[in-house]
Structure 1
């Protein structure tokens, strides 16, 4: 029996087989690309939603001068600072009154969503540059720069305007007497400027060994200044230690 296919005619069975393999490969590649795009989209969306925040709670130890500040990564504001080692400055943010860092549960507070913009504290650590903190500077410095009498505020606070030529434009001083102690003192933006700021009040205190802590907070928390100051003092005792070396990171 003779084969009717001549030498010059293609073998369509081979062609069809090769074509099916190519089609299968194309579909497989497209399927993989589709999966990659979907996963990539989720990753990018997650990164955008995080907006620089992190839920990582890895403990970090940052050395400033003779102090070691031990805090989880999710309390450190800037990504490049989320590492162990020596630094000149450290910036944190904490949710008040929980005194915790960023998490999915606390995301609205940190992203200032749904009206949750009155609970975040911004903390900055640096080596001490002045001999006195803000409370200690009231009698020798601030008391000579303000206009008296002041205006009564919440929880025993008195607001004082700064004299015109002092350089403290659109600011006022919030002062509360503390029997047996130096007064509580904070500088706050004036009311109109304060409305556009998440943390218009600022106070600095000395902590650890030659370490200065400056913390900024919402104006609404002035009415809770006693509890706020106590909470921060307790947090400093917990996270700041002196005369210690940082641990060596694992791995």
Structure 2
């Protein structure tokens, strides 16, 4: 019995000493972790790196045709992914053709001010599914609704109005052959007139939209559309 009591007392003493050692070790470990965390916080960089995805190119297939589009140029978040898509809507600053920057948040006072002039060219790329080609529409459909007489426009451009009561009433057709341009434009009214110019690339149709007022520099606009098509897809096939 005495031996058992001595052994039991010895075991309890060992456990007490073990607990006594564990507590200081635990405290020291906690202090060490806190010190490391403090040093990491003090040394952590305070600058925010630029988002590399803003300037990245997305490989997008529309109508089985490959386009490399700048991520920042895609107007709808749901379209900001690679792979097959039915439609992609883009915008570019004009005349630089760079993707636009982040939208500015307007205050209440700024929202009441007149809107600044549009400085972007808009582009929609859609799968055509063997619909009538844009150049065929210009040659065979539009002439049915145009006035008989045309008139000269700025810098060699030709203007022909659509007849009233037709699907394109209150619009005009602008065209030139060198460089090649065909644009259907609404007339200025409560809002500034806008132009639409289309072309086909393999399985996709490209629809460009820009302000009618830009037609005073239409050669530059035509060149910008050609450059955009080449940047996104490559030379015409």
With normalisation by structure 1, the TM-score equals: 0.61
SS of the residue 2:173 aligns to: strand
- Residue of structure 2 aligned with 1:72, choices 70, 73, 77: 70
CA distance in 2, matches of 1:189, 1:119: 18
Instruction: Choose between structure 1 and 2 for higher RCO, CA contacts under 8 A separated by at least 6 residues.
Output: 1
CA distance in 2, matches of 1:121, 1:160: 23
Tell which structure's C-alpha radius of gyration is larger: 2
- Measured against aligned partners, the alpha-carbon deviations of 1:73-95 in whole angstroms (never above 9, x if no partner) come to 11001111111122100000001
Could you tell me whether the CA contact under 8 Å between 2:163 and 2:169 is conserved in 1?
Answer: no
With normalisation by structure 2, the TM-score equals: 0.64
CA distance in 1, matches of 2:138, 2:78: 36
Structure 1 ranges of 4+ moved more than 4 A: 111-116
| Cα separation, partners in 2 of 1:118 and 1:156, compared to 1, 3 Å | farther
For the pair 1:212 / 2:205, whether they are aligned, the reply is: yes
Q: CA deviation at 1:116?
A: 4.4
Could you tell me whether the CA contact under 8 Å between 2:62 and 2:203 is conserved in 1?
Answer: no
CA distance in 1, matches of 2:234, 2:61: 10
Query: What does 1:12-23 align with in structure 2 at a 5 Å threshold?
Result: none
RMSD across aligned C-alpha pairs, in angstroms? 3.0
For the pair 1:82 / 2:76, whether they are aligned, the reply is: no
- Measured against aligned partners, the alpha-carbon deviations of 1:115-160 in whole angstroms (never above 9, x if no partner) come to 64232111000122434324x4333222232112123321222222
SS of the residue 1:191 aligns to: coil
Structure 2 unaligned segments of length 5 or more: list them. 1-52
Q: Aligned residue for 2:145?
A: 145
Q: Aligned residue for 2:40?
A: none
Structure 1 unaligned segments of length 5 or more: list them. 1-54, 243-251
Query: What does 1:1-251 align with in structure 2 at a 5 Å threshold?
Result: 56-103=54-101, 116-128=116-128, 129-134=130-135, 136-178=136-178, 184-192=181-189, 196-197=191-192, 200-207=194-201, 209-240=202-233
Q: CA deviation at 1:233?
A: 1.5
Could you tell me whether the CA contact under 8 Å between 1:156 and 1:177 is conserved in 2?
Answer: no
CA distance in 2, matches of 1:62, 1:95: 21
| Cα separation, partners in 2 of 1:177 and 1:239, compared to 1, 3 Å | closer
Q: CA deviation at 1:188?
A: 0.7
The number of residue pairs the alignment matches comes to: 177
